[in-house]
Amino acid sequence: MLHNLQGIDHALIGVEDLEEARSQYEKLGFTLTPRGSHIGWGTANYCIMFDEDYIEILGIVDPSLETNGLDTALAERGEGLLGLALASDAPEATQKSLKEAGLEPSDILPLKRKLELPEGDVLPEFKLIRLTSSAGLSTKNLFICHHMTPELVRQEKDWLSHANGAKYINSIVVVVEDPDSLAEYYQRLCGSINVTLTDNTLTVRFGKGSIIFVNDRDIDLLFPGLTISDEMPTLPYLIAMTIVVDSLQETENTLNRNGVRTQKIATGTLRVNPSDTNGLLLEFTDRRAS
């Protein structure tokens, strides 16, 4: 891809009760890291780590402090997917290249968070770059992340092993008004070879994963049998995430043992009800089918 982008870095899920969400995602068969908190903010998180990407479950623990818009997002649209971070291996080069391409990146923003380990707290550090709202996602929905201290967030091998067999993020689905209007932007962001427009659905590849843009009239092409409420939140709306697993049968067995409701889909995937995933439409797909 262009601009020193490497793929998906992480997806964010906003939740009302962080500890309750931690318990729910453990029930889904995920291993969660110890709790982290953002320095100077009122937000904290638990992360689900994979080899190259991860999921961040984000909640408010001190509403008197800055929440970076999480309070507003939860009030306006409820729990669910908040956004997606792309990975850069060289943030300064990324920012320069994005500027030259006319994509108007933000300044490089430093971020630290405290990770609460049994042996004592550590401070993972990151560099962030915001993207413009012309991406079909707001600047809070899509951004670029570079890890300054990757050894701190993946220091425990046990964090990468999940009872449900999860391996990486396969796709994020976003409902927008006009997917094909976004093609030119993403061609400039990650190269034309990584952008495919089919049946008014735009697929943008980022490494192993992808973002899929679809309008609310055609969403049943991606999710057969899914019914959407007439009260669709304001677009763009990040609606779904698919996770690749080692064995779909083993995933189903794990979820059944834990009392999680699932639905087998004709496309060979396993769907979990959003009421069991803090508002996220979550699907698992077998690694051999991805």
Shared-domain flag, residues 135 and 170: no
Shared-domain flag, residues 172 and 145: no
Q: Angle at Cα 82 formed by Cα 48 and Cα 224, nearest 5°?
A: 90
Calculate what percentage of the chain has a pLDDT beyond 90: 76
Identify the band that residue 157 occupies on the pLDDT scale cut at 50, 70 and 90. Answer: confident
Shared-domain flag, residues 53 and 192: no
- Beta strands 237-245 and 166-175 are antiparallel
Helix, strand or coil, per DSSP, at residue 113: strand
95-131 pLDDT tens trace: 999 999 999 999 999 999 999 998 899 999 999 999 8
Shared-domain flag, residues 208 and 88: no
Residue 120 host element (H or E): strand 120-122
Q: Of 85, 72, 133, 132, which Cα lies nearest the Cα of 111?
A: 85
Verify cis geometry, omega within 30 degrees of 0, for the bond prior to 233. Answer: no
Helix, strand or coil, per DSSP, at residue 253: helix
Shared-domain flag, residues 137 and 185: no
Shared-domain flag, residues 153 and 168: no
Shared-domain flag, residues 27 and 102: yes
Please state, rounded to an integer, the average pLDDT across all residues of the chain: 91
As a whole number of angstroms, the distance between CA 129 and CA 108 comes to 5
Domain that holds residue 131: 5-159
- Which residues, other chains included, contact 76 with Cβ-Cβ below 8 Å and sequence gap of 6+? 233, 234
99: its two tokens: 């500027």
Shared-domain flag, residues 116 and 215: no
Tell me the C-alpha to C-alpha distance, in Å, between residue 175 and each of 20, 215, 256. Answer: 27, 5, 30
Which of 115, 142, 159 is the last residue before a domain boundary?
159
CATH number at residue 257: 3.10.180.10
State yes or no: pLDDT of 74 exceeds 80.
yes
As a whole number of angstroms, the distance between CA 119 and CA 101 comes to 45
Identify the band that residue 138 occupies on the pLDDT scale cut at 50, 70 and 90. Answer: low
Which of 106, 127, 159 is the last residue before a domain boundary?
159
Residues 3-23 have a mean pLDDT of 97
Sign of CA dihedral 279, 232, 181, 200: positive
As a whole number of angstroms, the distance between CA 59 and CA 136 comes to 25
As a whole number of angstroms, the distance between CA 4 and CA 148 comes to 15
Shared-domain flag, residues 122 and 173: no
Shared-domain flag, residues 148 and 17: yes
Tell me the C-alpha to C-alpha distance, in Å, between residue 203 and each of 139, 190, 210, 212. Answer: 20, 12, 7, 4
Shared-domain flag, residues 20 and 155: yes
Number of domains in the chain: 2
Q: What is the 3-state secondary structure (H, E, C) of 162-228?
A: CCCCEEEEEEEEEECCCHHHHHHHHHHHHCHHHEEEECCEEEEEECCEEEEEECCCCHHHCCCCCCC
Specify the pLDDT at position 156: 73
Identify the band that residue 143 occupies on the pLDDT scale cut at 50, 70 and 90. Answer: very high
207-262 pLDDT tens trace: 999 999 999 888 888 887 776 665 667 889 999 999 999 999 999 999 999 999 99
Shared-domain flag, residues 215 and 117: no
Q: In which residue are the tokens 């698992």 written?
A: 284
Which of 159, 182, 199 is the last residue before a domain boundary?
159
